[in-house]
Structures are given as structure tokens and as C-alpha cells.
Amino acid sequence: MAVEIVMPRLGWTMEEGTLVEWIKQDGDTVEPGDILFVVESDKALNEVEAFDAGIFRIPPDSDVVGKLLPVGALLAYIVEPGEEPPFEKAASASPTTTPSASASVVPTPVIAAPSNAPASNGERSNGLPAISPRAKRVAGELGVDWMTLKGSGRTGRIVERDVRAAAQTRPAAARVSPVARRAADDLGVNVDALAAQLPGQRIMREAVERAAAQPAPALTTADETRTPIPRLRQVIAERMAASAHTTAAVTLTTEVDATDLVRVRTSLKAAGEIDARPVPTYNDLLAKLVAETLADHPQLNARFDGDSIVTARAVHMGLAVDTERGLFVPVIRDVQAKTVRQIAVESAALIAQVRAGSVGPEALSGGTFTITNLGPYEIDAFTPIINLPQCAILGVGRIVAKQVVIDAEAERVAIRHMMFLSLTFDHRLVDGAPAARFLQQVKRFIEQPYLWLVN
């Protein structure tokens, strides 16, 4: 029995995805675990595996590569060897009624074989060249305009060898991988111009992303530059707007003496010279101490779910990561149960995956609290936006050496490493005083790291 292959839901917020490229082609044999195709969801490229064995069949007029499709949209089938897929059964069905009877019956529309059947001159009835389904898919993958080709197949039909021959004789500027072409559409990169700068090379996604990072030239007029909004930026905009309009957001700010935290980090860095494991970053230290704080203030580790408030027992910490493609928030799970060293190893691996574009959707969902650190960009304090459906987010500013009064009566001052924290929380879930007590304990843990390091 034919198994339908549909656009999968690759995250709890995913409503639609883009089919980037087919890995298996029509007629290929597949086994469970084989990669069938690549899908781009909101923020990640994902390889989709087969769960069944059989023959992979793609409808002949399928034109879904590069298209944004809803979750559940039918893409292909896996059938038993020798079994006809549903689209072939529909195409081979012929009417059994007489002409007089059929005149009163409206037939069910199907993708009929004659629509692809070539006339004697190699054209369809609509005047376009006839092309095999496989050749059409290969043309899409290689960026070949098949409507300009002359077919060498029987009755003049365009076949795969015609497309590949055209791809070989065409200028190098047109050789672009399907993933790179999709990335170029999202980032507004002219792939033909890029390929002209890289003669003889196949343009891959990395080259497109590097080009996108370069300053874009002015378009159309001297007064303004108009650029299409990339899909990722659309997703970020939608979620930020939803957070701003849905939550009753309040931000509390405090200044913290991080001198002892700096000493801990300096000692770990020195020890890292003889230890091959990643050195814990400030974000790793903060993730651990915030998780310890949330154990005492669980109301900030909560979310709305319909008419209920759900308080998570575990702390799944989101760490905001800036990349050339936009903002990503990978999640470290069960932070409360891990050591700082374990957190450091896991966060380093996640950040590497995010920046390489290989992070999966499961690593970007399920967070219960988020930390965003703009200290490396010399920002002191800011107003972070809550990462829905979470209750709160902690913004971290830069660490700056300052002259600070440490004993007002004795008029003593000292140079201390100071840092601002900005906690944005949803006032619908938490009142101001409990949120302030949470931030106060985070401050105490930063100023006295031994309070949580010994836990």
C-alpha cells in the first residue's frame, strides 16, 4: 500500500516549510533511515528521513522544489516494488460510460497523461516543449531554462541528458546548488553576479552567505535602497511583534559587582591551557547560576498554556546567538543537573552547529528561560524581548572596570568589575516583587560565586 510523504512539522511553531532539494529521485529504492529530501523550516535546514522501505515515487508534474508549502502538504509516495502509485492509477483510469451518459457527468479532475504527451513536433498541446519529469527536476536543480532546449528523446521530448548537456555548456555563473539558490533568494544575493566572480566554481551556500555579509550596493535610486525581506527576518519580526503585543512586559535593571565572577573565569581560562575541554564562557557560568536561582524562584520558569500556568521542573536554557543569517536561540537542556564543564562542552557544540547552519529544529525549541548577552558589543543595559512562550529573559551587559565606593563611611574606593543585568518578565505570570527577588538572587550569585559553585 502506498505511503504518503508529506511536509513534516519540524518544530512546535512550524506551520510551513520550503522543500530545498530532493536527495532521492523518482524511482529510487529507499530503506528506513535514508535521506529523502531537505526542508528549510523557520531557521534551519533539515534532512528528512524515510520510515518505510520501498520505491520512492514523485508525481510527474510535481514542481515543489523551492516552494513554501504548508505542513502536511503531499510531496511524494513510497510504494511496494511493482505497485502503481496513486497518481499513475489516476492517470491510467479511463471513462467507461457512453458519450451520451458522460455528457451529464462531471469527471473528477486528475493529472492526465496527455498533458505531458508530445505532439509529433516535440511540443505539448499548449505550445511548450515536451519534457520528462526527471529532466524537469534536474533542470530545476541545475538552474537550466528547459523551455529553450531542443529535445533528443523519442518524438523530440527533452530528456535528462539534454538538460545536463546544457548545464555543461552554459556559463559558470549559472552553476548554483539548490540550497545556495534558496539562500540567495532569502538574502537578496545575485547568484549570477557572484558566480561571475568565481569562475569555474559551483556556488554553494557558504559563498552566498559570505556575499550577503558584504555591504549591499544601492538599488534603483540615490534616495533609497529597497531589499526584499528574507524569510528568516520575517520570522524574527513576527515573533518579536507577537511577544510585544501578547505579553505585559516589564524590565528591571540592576548593576552587579562581577569581580569575583571574573576571577573564577580567569582561573578556568588558565586551567584550560592544560585541559582539552572547552573553557567555560561567562554565558556558561551565568546559565548555571541562573538555573540554580530558578530552583528557588520557579514562577519565572513558567509559561501560559491555554487557561493554565505550566511551571517546568527542569531548566532548559536558551542562549541567544548572533549569526550572519540572523538570531538563533539554541537550548541547553536540564542545566540544573549539569556541571559548568558539561554546559561549556554542550554550548560550544550547539553554537558551532548554529553558525554552520546544521542545527536541527529540536535544538531550537523547548526552552524555559533565555539569556542574551550583548556585552561583547560594548552594550551596558538594554530591554530584551521575551522569547515566547517563556516567562522571562535575562539581558547581560558588558563587564567594565570602574572606581566604586566600597565603604562610604571610611570614604574608601576600589577598582571593581561592574556589569548591568536587565530582566524582562511577563507581568501576567509574575508580579514585580517576586521578579525583583529573583534578580536580587542572581546578583548575589554573581557577586559570591561560591554560593552556587559548591552545589
Q: Given a cut of 60, is residue 154 above it in pLDDT?
A: no
The answer to whether 181 touches 143, Cβ cutoff 8 Å, is yes
Residue 252 phi, psi dihedral angles, 5° rounding = -110, 140
- Choosing from 52, 61, 275, 431, the catalytic residue is 431
Rounded to the nearest 5 degrees, what angle is found at the Cα of 333, between the Cα atoms of 420 and 298? 60
Choose from 35-49, 99-113, 180-194, 217-231 the range with maximum mean pLDDT: 35-49
Q: Given a cut of 80, is residue 44 above it in pLDDT?
A: no
Least Cα distance to 402 among 414, 420, 390, 384 occurs for: 414
302-305 vs 45-49, strand pairing mode: unpaired
- Cβ of 121: how many Cβ atoms within 10 Å? 9
The answer to whether 8 touches 18, Cβ cutoff 8 Å, is no
pLDDT per residue as tens digits for the range 377-394: 999 999 999 999 999 999
Q: Given a cut of 70, is residue 99 above it in pLDDT?
A: no
Helices marked H in 300-388: 340-356
Please indicate whether residue 183 or residue 354 has the higher confidence score (pLDDT).
354
pLDDT score at 43: 61
Pairwise CA distance, residues 429 & 368, whole Å: 14
pLDDT per residue as tens digits for the range 247-256: 899 999 999 9
Residue 4 phi, psi dihedral angles, 5° rounding = -75, 135
Q: What is the DSSP string of 65-133?
A: TT-EEETT-EEEEEE-TTPPPHHHHHHH----S-HHHHTT--PPP---GGGG---TTSB-TTSSBPB-H
The answer to whether 294 touches 336, Cβ cutoff 8 Å, is yes
**Residue 30: strand pairing partners:** 54
Rounded to the nearest 5 degrees, what angle is found at the Cα of 295, between the Cα atoms of 381 and 352? 60
What average pLDDT does the structure give for the chain? 81
Q: Which three cell numbers stand for residue 345?
A: 562542552
Query: Which of 77-81, 211-215, 242-246 has the least mean pLDDT?
Result: 211-215
Please indicate whether residue 192 or residue 15 has the higher confidence score (pLDDT).
15
Told to judge if 316 belongs to the known catalytic residues of this protein, a careful annotator would answer no
Side chain identity at residue 358, one-letter code: S
pLDDT score at 119: 44
Rounded to the nearest 5 degrees, what angle is found at the Cα of 133, between the Cα atoms of 59 and 6? 30
pLDDT score at 253: 97
pLDDT score at 120: 43
Q: Given a cut of 60, is residue 107 above it in pLDDT?
A: no
Q: Cell 520550503 appears where?
A: 18
Q: Given a cut of 50, is residue 184 above it in pLDDT?
A: yes
Please indicate whether residue 213 or residue 259 has the higher confidence score (pLDDT).
259
The answer to whether 190 touches 28, Cβ cutoff 8 Å, is no
Pairwise CA distance, residues 71 & 311, whole Å: 29
- The contacts of residue 229 (CB under 8 Å, 6+ apart) are 237
Told to judge if 427 belongs to the known catalytic residues of this protein, a careful annotator would answer yes
Q: Which three cell numbers stand for residue 299?
A: 514562577
Pairwise CA distance, residues 190 & 208, whole Å: 9
3-state secondary structure of 156: helix
Least Cα distance to 312 among 281, 336, 283 occurs for: 336
Q: Given a cut of 90, is residue 164 above it in pLDDT?
A: no
The answer to whether 278 touches 348, Cβ cutoff 8 Å, is yes
Say what the pTM is. Answer: 0.57
Q: Given a cut of 80, is residue 241 above it in pLDDT?
A: yes
Please indicate whether residue 39 or residue 95 has the higher confidence score (pLDDT).
39
Instruction: Report, as an integer, the average pLDDT of 100-118.
Output: 36
3-state secondary structure of 345: helix
Residue 295: its H or E element: helix 282-296
Q: Given a cut of 70, is residue 10 above it in pLDDT?
A: yes
- Percentage of residues of the chain with pLDDT beyond 70: 78
Confidence of residue 112 (pLDDT cuts 50, 70, 90): very low
- Choosing from 145, 275, 296, 427, the catalytic residue is 427
Long-range contacts of 272-276 (CB under 8 A, 24+ apart): none
Confidence of residue 15 (pLDDT cuts 50, 70, 90): confident
Q: Given a cut of 50, is residue 279 above it in pLDDT?
A: yes
Long-range contacts of 204-208 (CB under 8 A, 24+ apart): 204/177, 204/179, 204/180, 205/177, 205/179, 205/180, 205/357, 207/180, 208/180, 208/183, 208/184
**What is the distance of C-alpha 275 from the center of its chain?**
33
> Going from the N-terminus, what domains does the chain have, and what CATH number goes with each?
3-90 (2.40.50.100), 122-213 (4.10.320.10), 233-453 (3.30.559.10)
Please indicate whether residue 294 or residue 355 has the higher confidence score (pLDDT).
294
Please indicate whether residue 173 or residue 284 has the higher confidence score (pLDDT).
284
pLDDT score at 188: 63
pLDDT score at 301: 96
pLDDT score at 173: 41
Confidence of residue 75 (pLDDT cuts 50, 70, 90): very high
Q: Given a cut of 50, is residue 420 above it in pLDDT?
A: yes
Confidence of residue 136 (pLDDT cuts 50, 70, 90): confident
Instruction: Report, as an integer, the average pLDDT of 357-372.
Output: 87
pLDDT score at 115: 36
Please indicate whether residue 17 or residue 109 has the higher confidence score (pLDDT).
17
Half-sphere exposure of 293 (CA within 13 A, CB side): 25
**What is the distance of C-alpha 443 from the center of its chain?**
33
Q: Given a cut of 70, is residue 421 above it in pLDDT?
A: yes
DSSP E strand boundaries for 306-411: 308-311, 317-319, 321-323, 326-328, 331-332, 369-373, 392-407
Please indicate whether residue 143 or residue 270 has the higher confidence score (pLDDT).
270
Please indicate whether residue 52 or residue 219 has the higher confidence score (pLDDT).
52
Residue 434: its H or E element: helix 432-447
DSSP E strand boundaries for 72-126: 74-79
User: How far is CA 261 from each of CA 324, 325, 344, 413, rounded to the nearest angstrom?
Assistant: 30, 32, 16, 20
